[in-house]
Amino acid sequence: MFTGIVTAVGEVIAATPRAAGMRFRIAAAYDPTTVAVGASIACAGPCLTVVERGTENGRHYFDVEASTETLSLTTLGDWAAGTRVNLERPLRIGDELGGHLVSGHVDGVARILERVDEADMARFAFEAPQHLARYIAGKGSVCLDGTSLTVNAVSGRRFGVMIVPHTLAATTWSERKTGDAVNLEVDMLARYLERLRGG
């Protein structure tokens, strides 16, 4: 379980095809002695399992593997050496819940329709996949590329968010532009509510 509060930005330093997916080596500021093999880390949204960690050429790293299903449902299939990704380690009992509850199970991919920079903030407009649009509500929460964000407005499949200066500086959002694809996880409460209503 995660909160959508990014704690580090990592960089993919290797992307290796596997028989049924990909293995990624991600350089990050996390001390490898504090990262257990088998631990979960949210990498640009998807919850991935650490299979190796260490230090190489003075850089700390951890390795994760993504299945073909994960690659097909997310942006991970486009990752290559040099790709920068938002990272979050899992929530621990007693941690502050600063964002919203995030599972790390990405529902699909949204596309940036527009970016408008306003002073030191940035306003983004996105298009959600048709089957996910009904879960996105104005003033509700959404997780995009592993970041918990508040939805400002919704119109059909289109929705908007405003990204504040701290988030721009502490995540990969400063690099995002019109046309980019981002990992989308809708609010889990919205999904459960629909299920309870018989949807």
pLDDT at 184: 98
Task: Compute the average pLDDT of residues 77-88.
Answer: 98
Q: Tell me: the pLDDT tens digits for 152-173?
A: 999 999 999 999 999 999 999 9
Strand partners, 65: 23
Give the Cα separation of 183 and 185 in Å (integer).
Answer: 7
Q: Is residue 81 a contact partner of residue 59, using CB atoms and an 8 Å limit?
A: no
Half-sphere exposure of 91 (CA within 13 A, CB side): 17
Cβ within 8 Å of residue 61, ≥6 positions away:
13, 25, 26, 27, 28, 32, 53, 54, 55
CA distances (Å), origin 52, targets 62, 64, 82, 133, 171: 6, 7, 19, 37, 24
CB 128 within 8 A of CB 136: yes
Mean pLDDT value across residues 79-93: 94
Q: Residue 199's pLDDT is what?
A: 58
- Distance CA(76)–CA(22), nearest Å, equals 9
Note the pLDDT of residue 29: 96
pLDDT of 87 > 70? The answer is: yes
Length of the chain: 199
Domains and CATH numbers, the chain: 8-88 (2.40.30.20), 108-196 (2.40.30.20)
Whose CA is closest to 159, among 180, 142, 179, 183? 142
The mean of the pLDDT values for the chain is 94
In terms of Cα–Cα distance, which of 91, 82, 81, 41 is closest to 65?
Answer: 41
